[in-house]
Chain A
């Protein structure tokens, strides 16, 4: 597999191959590049950012994120869990909205304050 490293702006073109001895990484200029390439090949992880309906607040939606990266293939399931819920204002930045989203051990937390509407 070929990929462009996104750890830093240098953008190394890295090739990852698997043979009998295990994973083989080429083209990276640093250790972080190697880790990145292996992670991306074996199990890519992503932070999910989206928004959730909120009632009684000074915004209609509150922006949220997973508090750590989750496996890429879990994103769809996580979004599914989030699209049906409505929470109540107020909410503070960092507040946990849903625990253990899509069985990933990650929590969904608010990324902004939403105050009660005046």
Chain B
């Protein structure tokens, strides 16, 4: 089977669905969503807790409810989608190969492609805990899938490593299902999870949260029997003598997410080493002509509301691209002190304001974010507080962009209020634990 479309969207999660709807509403007719699962909705299907949509819809929805709004939007517009369809290759000339359970191999020729494959969880391999490989070690998202979609309880005595939101949500979920969650260990001195989740998922059930702690060994050969935990110093190195053995039959890992970009790499899309996602311009156009990206495949978002918003930005980019609008510049964004990454990485047109999203690389209080262009300060914004767990954004006005060189460089950095530290001094204070 061979088909031709204007836009092919890889992935039918919130990013893919919102991108499809926005493409349609921009006047693009011929859209096809390719989804490997049996249902649309992506990871939201298993996120049955509330906490979605507060920004976008002003109410707290569950994951399935949030997804449903967009699934309905796709169906109401008669946008085509194929389920049970796994994309196996994307070529840089925008030919896509996919396997469908009934139709077999499908070849799709697209004028533009939107990557919306989401992310996957880091596994134990990715963080290297020594010990055997017994049953009973799961990623938190896998446990969530088992409990919420399959009705299967992965264990009874549980230790969770990592205090991100997924780990916190699972602590409560497993408690509700009758398991005993003994503790959550967090290697950092703070949690990246929401205060609300710490309160409602841990405090409500007296589950201890141990900061500066990690799992240093797993025990058991067939089934997990226990873990050794230890306190870490400010360099995240386990402190000798602080080890403790904790009996448990299940260890959940909630140690971060990684954008899923094997397909993108196959198409020669350049990736950012820090985000693990493609390098994009302000329309989420990747380094390959006609290939765009949005959602967790691009960088891991805090809230699904922002995923939907980004998908709409990418859809606008696709519409411009199909109309033949060309970029007129290539202003790069580099990061100085305090900044982990930015999206976009490049600004390639100067006819609209650009929202620059960025994440801090540590916790900083009382200072400002500054955009500089050579020696000129373009923009300053005060912050009481920035943290890695929260994506921040600033708007760069088109009038400012128009004054810059086509190939200029904007630098974004954090400045402490009183003593305007040099970048080096600041990096040093970071590596010594702030």
B-contacting residues of A (Cβ < 8 Å)? 3-6, 9, 11, 44, 46-47, 49-51, 53, 58-61, 63, 65, 72, 75, 79, 93, 111-113
Residue of B nearest to A7 (CB): B196
The interface residues of chain B, by DSSP majority, are classed as helix
Cross-chain contact of B68 among A46, A53, A112 (Cβ < 8 A): A112
Shortest beta-carbon contacts, A-B, top 7: A6-B196, A112-B64, A63-B48, A111-B62, A49-B49, A4-B195, A111-B64
* Chain A residues with CB below 8 A from B150, complex form: 60-61
Whether, in the assembled complex, B50 has its beta carbon less than 8 Å from a beta carbon of chain A, the answer is yes
Interchain CA distance A113-B68 in the complex, whole Å = 9
* Chain B residues with CB below 8 A from A3, complex form: 199
Q: A6-B199, A63-B64, A112-B65 are in contact. Are A75 and B176 (CB under 8 A)?
A: yes
Residues 49-93 (chain B) with a chain A CB within 8 angstroms: 49-50, 60, 62, 64-65, 68
Interchain CA distance A63-B150 in the complex, whole Å = 11
Beyond the given A49-B48, A65-B50, please list 9 additional residue pairs across the A-B interface where CB-CB is below 8 A. A4-B195, A11-B195, A47-B60, A50-B48, A53-B151, A63-B62, A63-B64, A93-B65, A111-B62
Interchain CA distance A46-B204 in the complex, whole Å = 10
Residue of A nearest to B196 (CB): A6
Residue of B nearest to A47 (CB): B50
Q: A46-B200, A47-B50, A49-B49 are in contact. Are A79 and B176 (CB under 8 A)?
A: yes
Interchain CA distance A47-B390 in the complex, whole Å = 25
A-B contact pairs, 24 of them (CB 8 A): A3-B199, A4-B195, A4-B198, A4-B199, A5-B195, A47-B50, A47-B60, A49-B62, A50-B176, A51-B48, A51-B148, A58-B39, A60-B151, A61-B148, A61-B149, A61-B150, A63-B48, A65-B50, A72-B204, A75-B176, A79-B176, A93-B64, A111-B62, A112-B45
A-contacting residues of B (Cβ < 8 Å)? 38-39, 45, 48-50, 60, 62, 64-65, 68, 148-151, 176, 194-196, 198-200, 204, 390
Interchain CA distance A61-B49 in the complex, whole Å = 14
Interchain CA distance A104-B20 in the complex, whole Å = 41
Q: A4-B199, A51-B48 are in contact. Are A111 and B151 (CB under 8 A)?
A: no
Interchain CA distance A60-B39 in the complex, whole Å = 13
Interchain CA distance A58-B41 in the complex, whole Å = 15
* Chain A residues with CB below 8 A from B48, complex form: 49-51, 63, 65, 111
Residue of A nearest to B68 (CB): A93
Residue of B nearest to A63 (CB): B48
Residue of B nearest to A66 (CB): B50
Interchain CA distance A3-B48 in the complex, whole Å = 26
Query: How far does the Cβ of B38 sit from chain A's closest Cβ, in whole Å?
Result: 8
Cross-chain contact of B195 among A6, A51, A63, A79 (Cβ < 8 A): A6
Residue of B nearest to A82 (CB): B176
* Chain A residues with CB below 8 A from B196, complex form: 6
Interchain CA distance A6-B202 in the complex, whole Å = 14
Interchain CA distance A58-B68 in the complex, whole Å = 16
* Chain A residues with CB below 8 A from B195, complex form: 4-6, 11
* Chain B residues with CB below 8 A from A111, complex form: 48, 62, 64-65
* Chain A residues with CB below 8 A from B65, complex form: 93, 111-112
Interchain CA distance A111-B62 in the complex, whole Å = 7
Query: How far does the Cβ of A66 sit from chain B's closest Cβ, in whole Å?
Result: 10
